[in-house]
Structure 1
Amino acid sequence: MQNIRTEPNTGKRFLAGFIDYLLIYTFTLVFIFAFGEPNADGEYSVTGLLAFIPMIFWGIMTVGLEMGIGATVGNSLVGLKAIPKSGINRNLTFGESFKRHLVDPIDMFFFGLVGIITINNTDLNQRVGDLWAGTIVVRNKNLTE
């Protein structure tokens, strides 16, 4: 394992998650109102193959960006990057990134309390998704090629 310094960075990580999911939820709501059909209660819903579009968008905005450019939009804006626990400065694989983000709802439960508790109480400042995926989050300035 390379000597990479991890820090809780809870404020930056909270902001990054907020930015990422604000983009994802905004897209989803606009998409549902644009392509959805109103039901008997006046609520909009999307059915059939169109229902997969928000899920695909989620995958691109989280897993796709981490694999392709090394960070989500939120992490890029706040100067953070998720890397393997080994400390090697590389983009995450599909499996690593998918595992990290699949449990985002757990980490974000009760306004991020679960994530904050695990980040502040694990040796490498990992949230539940990082523990499962074997990843850490570091500041870009702490990385070396």
Structure 2
Amino acid sequence: MNSRQIATKPNLKKRILAGLIDYSLIFGVLLIMFIYFGEKDSEGIHITGFPAFANILIWFAYMVGFEAKYGGTLGNLVFDLQVISIKDSNSTSLTLGQSFIRHLFDMLDLWFFGLLGILLIKNTQYNQRLGDLCAQTIVIDTKDQSQFYKRFA
């Protein structure tokens, strides 16, 4: 077997549920920020200054930092999904930069109820969404022995 072989599956159900957990947490934090720091005006409620910046920091720490450190977000880990780098043949560890690139494309992948992400996951060679393609990553189910990258190094 080739040491650089990649075997993935779409894992769509798990990936969708993991995304729901992650974005529920992010939107929950955003809701709390609006409740406690929101300012009402004629156009509605908005947040500015540090509370607005704090949302970006929280998103970055959770989505990017947590994923880079643990190989997945909380939603991914609940469903035994792991994000793996296929960029470097010497390491499967995800870098902070790769995680950031993956999540920069989240809004495009989630466009129209996730249609773009689902279409890409189902139709790309390694079941990658746009963020995965750009960051050179794959998502595998760690409990499924038929999914791997560089299993026999």
TM-score in terms of structure 2 length: 0.86
Displacement, 1:23? 0.5
- Structure 2 vs 1, CA of residues 31 and 88 (structure 1 numbering), >3 Å: closer, same or farther? farther
Q: Unmatched 5+ residue regions in structure 1?
A: none
Paired residues, number: 144
- 2:102 alignment counterpart: 100
- 2:77 alignment counterpart: 76
Identical-pair percentage: 43
RMSD: 1.9
Letter matched to residue 48 of structure 1: G
CA distance in 2, matches of 1:122, 1:18: 22
Counterparts of 1:37-116 in structure 2, within 5 Å, are 37-41=39-43, 43-85=44-86, 90-116=92-118
Residues 16 and 74 in structure 1, CA contact (< 8 A), matched pair in contact too = yes
- Structure 2 vs 1, CA of residues 123 and 88 (structure 1 numbering), >3 Å: closer, same or farther? farther
Any idea what the Cα deviations from partners look like across 1:8-64, whole Å, max 9, x if unmatched? 0111111111110010011101111111211124x2211112211111111111101
Match of 1:20 among 19, 22, 27: 22
- 1:9 alignment counterpart: 11
Q: Unmatched 5+ residue regions in structure 2?
A: none
- 1:32 alignment counterpart: 34
Tell which has more relative contact order, 1 or 2 (C-alpha 8 A, sep 6+).
2
Displacement, 1:72? 0.1
The SS at the match of 2:8 is coil
| Higher helix residue share | 1
- Structure 2 vs 1, CA of residues 29 and 130 (structure 1 numbering), >3 Å: closer, same or farther? same
Residues 83 and 89 in structure 1, CA contact (< 8 A), matched pair in contact too = no
